[in-house]
């Protein structure tokens, strides 16, 4: 089995990655080498049934050690990638780099890996010697894992997503901040809340007061609990949030559409216009999105539903009825599952080619860890 360097395996995405690799027995196909950015020389982790090549943690900044590896998988983050990756290539490294960070995603040397949707693109890249396989933005990967069938059948003329993104997209500290904010708000009114006779408008006023004055909002910058934040990631200066830009460019790159694709990947057609408005809400780790799609044809609803349901083995169709929707199409229902529920499918008033859809996906599974572990297995053959 090939030696595989694992970097950033202790963080939030990395922990989910390791858990999934253990569940699926992936370690039987690799010789793991565990790295650390802060504790080189410390004890390598012991996971049941896993025998690391080295019993100590290797230094994630030591080029000589990294250079020996045919495959490196990192969930360490974009700063690490920016610092180490160019040096590795400069030193002549010719291995495969599998990365969760966005740094290299839109480079014309890389492929965004989401194999249930773009195995053909990945295979073309491997054949052509492409060495960079990057996990997609969580919202994009989740959307395609749910609705990909419509895109791979080339049925989408254009699309738009209104997102409801969970705190975990910001990181572990953001999740803690949200929960602490909920706690602070509850404490501010706990006494009144326990008194059924207390006036709700007094409680509401006290909550607002606490939101404006008492919440620790170090991570998000403004309160999230009991509120929302209609901007995600950097301000690109043209009215577009970086998360919204990613939705369009990454969707097309994954599908192998448009231009600037990796060597060996011939374009599957013109880019599909896809745009978003991205909103942070107080969910913990599942991103939701409401989509409007203009299809190229007026297809019967039953056909649309069956194309979605069979798009990937992980898309699960939810009938557009109240009971089924509220039971299955929420962050609470979707978290922890590899299934991506898709529902609220109906034709819109604008015309028979216009449909709505709503989908939810665990931001740490298909949104981050799962495409990486699958790409690793593909790359070891």
11 forms part of the interface with ligand HSE (CB under 6 A):
no
- Between CA 49 and CA 54 the distance in angstroms is 15
Asked whether the beta carbons of 128 and 323 are under 8 A apart, the reply is no
What is the DSSP track for 264-277?
Answer: T----SSPPPEEEE
- Only one of the segments 86-94, 165-173, 319-327, 347-355 lies at the binding site for ligand HSE (rule: CB under 6 A); that segment is 165-173
Round to whole Å and give the CA distance between 274 and 374: 26
**Binding of residue 99 to ligand HSE (CB under 6 A):** no
In the shown chain, the binding pattern of residues 240 to 259 toward ligand HSE, with x for contact by CB under 6 A and - for none, equals ---x----------------
- Looking at residue 117, what DSSP letter applies? H
Say whether residue 233 binds ligand HSE (CB under 6 A). yes
276 binding ligand HSE? (CB under 6 A): no
158 in Cβ contact with 199 (< 8 Å) = no
The count of residues interacting with ligand HSE (CB under 6 A) is 8
Catalytic residues: 138, 287
Q: Would you say 137 or 315 has its CB closer to ligand HSE?
A: 137
**Piece of 67-75, 164-172, 327-335, 370-378 that binds ligand HSE (CB under 6 A):** 164-172
Contact characters 107-146, ligand HSE, x per CB under 6 A: ------------------------------xx--------
What is the chain's length?
Answer: 381
Regarding 104 and contact with ligand HSE (CB under 6 A), the answer is no
Q: Of these, 165, 286, 289, 315, which contacts ligand HSE (CB under 6 A)? A: 165
Q: Which residue is nearest to ligand HSE (CB)?
A: 169
Assess 74 for contact with ligand HSE (CB under 6 A): no
Residue closer to ligand HSE by CB (options 50, 364) is 364
Burial of 141-176, coded b for 16+ CB within 10 Å and e otherwise, reads bbbbbbbbbbbbeebbeebbbebbbbbbbbeeebbe
For 129, 172, 185, 216, 370, the CA distances from 219, given in Å and listed in that order, are 40, 10, 17, 8, 26
What is the enclosing helix (H) or strand (E) of 310?
none
Q: Under the rule (CB under 6 A), what is the footprint of ligand HSE?
A: 137-138, 165, 169-170, 232-233, 243
């Amino acid at each position: 089995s090939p030696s595989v360097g694992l970097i950033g395996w202790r963080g939030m995405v990395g922990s989910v990655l390791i858990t999934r690799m253990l569940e699926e027995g992936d370690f039987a196909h690799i010789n793991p080498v565990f790295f650390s950015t802060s504790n080189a020389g410390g004890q390598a982790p012991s996971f049941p049934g896993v025998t690391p090549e080295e019993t100590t943690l290797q230094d994630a900044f030591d080029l000589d050690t990294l250079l020996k590896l045919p495959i490196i998988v990192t969930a360490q983050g974009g700063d690490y990638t920016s610092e180490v990756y160019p040096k590795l290539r400069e030193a002549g490294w010719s291995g495969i780099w599998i990365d969760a960070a966005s740094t290299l995603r839109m480079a014309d040397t890389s492929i965004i890996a989401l194999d249930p949707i773009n195995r053909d693109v990945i295979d073309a890249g491997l054949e052509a010697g492409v060495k960079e396989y990057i996990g997609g933005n969580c919202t994009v990967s989740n959307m395609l894992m749910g609705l990909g069938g419509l895109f791979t059948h080339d049925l989408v003329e254009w699309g738009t997503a209104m997102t409801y993104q969970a705190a975990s997209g910001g990181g572990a500290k953001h999740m803690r901040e949200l929960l602490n904010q909920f706690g602070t708000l509850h404490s501010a009114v706990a006494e009144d809340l326990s008194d059924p006779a207390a006036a709700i408008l007094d409680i509401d006023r006290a909550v607002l007061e606490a939101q404006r004055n008492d919440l620790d909002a170090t991570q998000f910058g403004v309160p999230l609990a009991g509120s929302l934040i209609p901007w995600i990631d950097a301000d690109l200066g043209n009215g577009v949030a970086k998360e919204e830009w990613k939705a369009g460019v990454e969707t097309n790159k994954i599908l192998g559409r448009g231009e600037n694709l990796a060597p060996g990947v011939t374009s599957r057609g013109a880019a599909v216009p896809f745009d978003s408005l991205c909103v942070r809400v107080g969910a913990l780790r599942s991103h939701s999105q409401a989509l409007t799609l203009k299809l190229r044809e007026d297809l019967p609803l039953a056909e649309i539903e069956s194309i979605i349901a069979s798009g990937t083995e992980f898309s699960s169709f939810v009938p557009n009825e109240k009971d089924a929707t509220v039971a299955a199409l929420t962050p609470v229902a979707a978290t922890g599952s590899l299934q991506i529920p898709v529902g609220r499918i109906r034709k819109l008033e604008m015309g028979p080619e216009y449909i709505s859809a709503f989908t939810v996906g665990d931001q740490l599974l298909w949104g981050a860890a799962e495409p990486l572990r699958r790409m690793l297995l593909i790359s070891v053959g």
